Amino acid sequence: MDPVFGQLLAEYPRFRTALEPAAHSRVLTVAELAAPAVIERAVVAAGELFGVTDPRHAGQLWWFSAVNALVAPSVTAMVEYGRVPDLDLGTGELFVRDPEDGCGDPGAGYWIGFTPGSFVSGSSDADPRNPQRRSGEGFTRSVAPVVESLSLVTGVKPAPLWAVVSDGVAQAAVEAGNEAFDPYLGVRTAVALVSGLGAAGPGDGVVVPQPRFLDISVTGGTVTPTDMEAVFAEEEPDGVHTVVKRASCCMIYRSPTAGKCLSCPKQKPEERERKLVSGLVP
């Protein structure tokens, strides 16, 4: 593992389970992850963990968790340290943390992770072929068979699954920017990554949604669309927390033990904004 990930884990220990295989983890290829039996087990595991009974909802819930686990450590490294891991899953080590054949607990087969094996080099963010964009392209190409298999197994159409990918990548970048006290760097990283997702093209007429962002004033509690001109001018906003205006739903509210999450797109905009503000403004 590259030393940059040791630094990442020292600062953000929460990423350890998504970045490092455990003793009982099983390493697998992307083709193995996309196998119907593996996808079916992940969907069943979602039901075991969260009580979600409809395979469409369980599959989308698993995919939302999976995308976050696969990209969040690497995207945080991009924002924090300026290193761009290659998100092509075939270039690193992909693993199931609690494989069905190695763990008898409920939920086995749900949690996955990824240790990048290489980095993307390139020129500045002004270059349309910048490294973040190329890393996003690699992620699209590598997860396309997983999305296809998940769609066939659960009956969820590909478009909402690709919306989960776009939102997951953008959200990881924006959260990293907020934590680094440089929210607009997170937004620029998100835009570059998602442009790569779209450039690689999921196919079948599916369009990867472009991310949208909102700025929350941490002192006044106002919510406004992010000023993208200021983002690309590399301005540093004062007292702003940026969030992704999501196009996708994680489906956790389908669980009998959970409600709608903070940024859920299935709630009224004013209710979502009220919840976002209440979590930030004293």
Q: Which CATH number does the domain housing residue 93 bear?
A: 1.10.510
Residue 29 and residue 136: Cα distance in Å, rounded? 19
Residue 32 clears pLDDT 70, i.e. is over it:
yes
Residue 35, number of CB atoms within 10 A of its CB: 16
> How many Å is the maximal CA-CA distance in the chain?
52
Q: What is the mean pLDDT of the segment spanning 3-22?
A: 95
* Domain encompassing residue 18: 13-209
Residue 26, SS3?
Answer: strand
The residue among 107 and 265 whose pLDDT is bigger is 107
Residue 273 clears pLDDT 50, i.e. is over it:
yes
Residue 249 lies in a domain: no
Q: What is the pLDDT of residue 160?
A: 94
> What is the distance between the terminal CA atoms of the chain, rounded to a whole angstrom?
40
Residue 168 lies in a domain: yes
Residue 234 lies in a domain: no
Residue 101 lies in a domain: yes
Q: What is the mean pLDDT of the segment spanning 275-279?
A: 66
Residue 95 clears pLDDT 80, i.e. is over it:
yes
Rounded to two decimals, the pTM is 0.91
Token code pair at residue 38: 């593996």
Q: What is the mean pLDDT of the segment spanning 118-124?
A: 74
Residue 104, SS3?
Answer: coil
Residue 267 lies in a domain: no
How far is residue 37 CA from its own chain's centroid? Answer: 23
Q: What is the pLDDT of residue 34?
A: 97
How far is residue 98 CA from its own chain's centroid? Answer: 20
Residue 204 lies in a domain: yes
| 131, 124 Cβ separation under 8 angstroms | no
**DSSP characters over 170-189:** HHHHHHHHHHTT-HHHHHHH
Long-range contacts of 256-261 (CB under 8 A, 24+ apart): 256/51, 257/50, 257/51, 258/50
- Provide the domain count of the chain: 1
Q: What is the pLDDT of residue 280?
A: 61
Sheet holding 112-115, edge to edge: 26-28, 93-96, 112-115
Residue indicated by tokens 């891991």:
85
pLDDT, tens digit, 9 for 90 and up, residues 174-211: 999 999 999 999 999 999 999 999 887 777 778 888 99
Residue 214 lies in a domain: no
Q: What is the pLDDT of residue 141?
A: 94
| 192, 133 Cβ separation under 8 angstroms | yes
Residue 247 clears pLDDT 90, i.e. is over it:
no
Residue 46 clears pLDDT 80, i.e. is over it:
yes
pLDDT, tens digit, 9 for 90 and up, residues 72-84: 999 999 999 999 9
The residue among 1 and 145 whose pLDDT is bigger is 145
Residue 242 lies in a domain: no
Residue 105 clears pLDDT 90, i.e. is over it:
no
Residue 217 and residue 277: Cα distance in Å, rounded? 8
Closest alpha carbon to 180 in 278, 82, 65: 82
Q: What is the pLDDT of residue 207?
A: 85
Closest alpha carbon to 127 in 188, 79, 179: 188
